[in-house]
Amino acid sequence: MLASLQRELDQRKADGLLRQRRLLDSPQAEHIVANQQPYLSFCSNDYLGLANHPDLIAAMQKAAGDSGVGSGASGLVTGHHRYHDELEQQLARFVELPAALLFSTGYMANIGVLGALVGRGDAIFADKLNHACLNDGGYFSHAEFHRYPHNDVAALEKLLQASTAKHKLIAADAVFSMDGDIAPIPEYLALCEKYDAYLYIDDAHGFGVLGEHGKGSLNHFKIKSPRIIMMATLGKAAGVAGSFVAGEQVVIDYLIQKAKSYVYSTPAPPALSATLSASVKLIEQGDHLRANLQALIQYLKANLKLNKWRLMDSDTTIQPLVVGDNLEALALSEYLQTCGILVPAIRPPTVPVGTARLRISLSATHTMDDMKKLVAAIHQAERELCA
């Protein structure tokens, strides 16, 4: 087996697909030190720049002092601390849904929720570009798993029409992690009502960024329904780690009993929840951060003038620059690195073959000067690499 593992790794490298970690020597932020070199970074999902906020650091230090650093046991044994409980209530209030449940990561939430809510005889309808953990959740559930073309409401309707499944669940990212576009959530909800289906929305990249006061994608569309269950991670705009699922009380009560990644897993430390409670307050007060983000997004879109590569049509913090070829995407990422700028190259299987790209991720703490440097470096790279 070991020889075949090595062969596969060698092949990945030859194909420009080998993933490599970068060693961070500083806090993660827009200006970082990695492998002992300073960089301007466009790699992080810390969209509001909260990961180093002094209020959150102080909240974590205080809470570690009064609640320790570990949860000790699963939530159903003795691991459900008052800090967890208060955060669940605060999150439910914030997203204006009846109840919420914390999971240790977004990945765990998606696996646990899909695995619990549907099973044999049921069907999941999933966007082809959904995040990998929604696909894994589908496999765990043993429900039929149908994938529809990206954001294609008509194709989804055909699948729903043809389905004889007992329970039907549409599962979609709200903001697509590698494309930055937004799912047609109101149209999905209309289909749910027409075909007696439910909607599971992964708002990993909308929570904190979209909607009034950063309440997320459901608020962005001003929709509400007992048919909707949402998930958001707390490691992106919230700047910390973890995730939550929110929806009707009965859904949350059921997940506490049946979501295996909740039942059989130790919760994140209570101190993390206390930190997140402080973070949710900052998100709510962060309209100025979201305004700055919008200004950065619009600057990039207006000023990046390319011949061969193209910026995808996105108005969110995720601005993908499509290059196409895997090795060319890597070459661009490496070129920018030599200019002191980090932007990750994203290649298949994370994105479809032929659409390798740079994923430019913007944070409210980037400045216009940072944007100017990025735009100038990309223009220069296109001139030199595509000459």
Candidates 101-109, 191-199, 216-224, 305-313; binding stretch for ligand PMP (CB under 6 A): 101-109
Residue 318 CA to residue 209 CA, distance in Å, equals 11
d(CA 364, CA 362): 7
- Known binding residue 131? Answer is yes
**For residue 31, with 0-12 CB atoms within 10 Å meaning exposed, 13-18 middle and 19 or more buried, which class applies?**
middle
The 280-309 contact track toward ligand PMP, x by CB under 6 A, reads ------------------------------
CB 209 within 8 A of CB 293: yes
Angle between helices 82-95 and 270-284 (to 10 degrees): 30
Q: Output 107 or 148, the one with its CB closest to ligand PMP.
A: 107
Query: Contact with ligand PMP (CB under 6 A): which of 127, 144, 202, 382?
Result: 202
For ligand PMP, which stretch binds (CB under 6 A), given 47-55, 99-107, 185-193, 374-382? 99-107
**Among the residue ranges 27-35, 105-113, 222-230, 343-351, the one whose residues contact ligand PMP (CB under 6 A):** 105-113
Region binding ligand PMP by CB under 6 A among candidate stretches 2-10, 100-108, 276-284, 324-332: 100-108
179 phi, psi to nearest 5 deg? -115, -25
Gap between the Cα atoms of 377 and 210, Å rounded: 29
288 is in an annotated binding site: no
* Segment interacting with ligand PMP (CB under 6 A) among 76-84, 102-110, 111-119, 146-154: 102-110
| Closer by beta carbon to ligand PMP, 124 or else 204 | 204
Which residues in the 326-385 window bind ligand PMP by CB under 6 A? Answer: none
How do beta strands 144-148 and 228-233 pair? Answer: unpaired
CB of 175 to ligand PMP, least distance (A): 8
Known binding residue 233? Answer is yes
Give the CA distances from residue 130 to residues 61, 138, 178, 185, in Å, rounded to whole numbers and listed in that order: 36, 11, 9, 14
Show the tokens assigned to 264.
Answer: 């059989």
The closest residue (CB) to ligand PMP is 106
Instruction: Report yes or no: 283 and 214 within 8 Å, Cβ to Cβ.
Output: yes
Active site residues: 177, 205, 236
DSSP state letters, 18-48:
------B-S-SSSEEEETTEEEEE-----TT
CB 183 within 8 A of CB 155: no
Find the binding residues for ligand PMP in span 155-184 (CB under 6 A): 173, 177
Binding flags for ligand PMP, 223-252, as an x/- string (CB under 6 A): ----------x-x-------x---------
Residue 20, class by beta-carbon neighbours within 10 Å (0-12 exposed, 13-18 middle, 19+ buried)? exposed
Q: Which of 106, 138, 180, 206 binds ligand PMP (CB under 6 A)?
A: 106
User: CB of 309: closest distance to ligand PMP in angstroms?
Assistant: 23
Shorter beta-carbon distance to ligand PMP: residue 92 or 230: 230
Q: Choose which of 39, 94, 107, 262 interacts with ligand PMP (CB under 6 A).
A: 107
Q: Which H/E stretch holds residue 323?
A: strand 318-324
Rounded to a whole number of angstroms, the minimum distance from the CB of residue 380 to ligand PMP is 30
Residue 350 marked in a binding site = yes
Report if residue 144 touches ligand PMP, rule: CB under 6 A.
Answer: no
Question: Is 83 annotated as contributing to ligand binding?
Answer: no
Contacts of 133 (CB under 8 A, 6+ apart): 106, 107, 110, 111
Mapped onto helix, strand or coil, the DSSP state of residue 231 is strand
Q: Is the peptide bond before 352 cis (omega within 30 degrees of 0)?
A: no
- What is the footprint of ligand PMP within residues 249-278 (CB under 6 A)? none
202 vs 236: CA distance, rounded Å:
13
For residues 357 and 329, the answer to whether their CB atoms sit within 8 Å is yes
53/131 with CB nearer ligand PMP: 131
User: Which residues lie near ligand PMP (CB under 6 A)?
Assistant: 105-107, 131, 133, 173, 177, 202, 204, 233, 235, 243
In the annotated binding site, the residues are 19, 106-107, 131, 177, 205, 233, 350
In the annotated binding site for pyridoxal 5'-phosphate, the residues are 106-107, 177, 205, 233
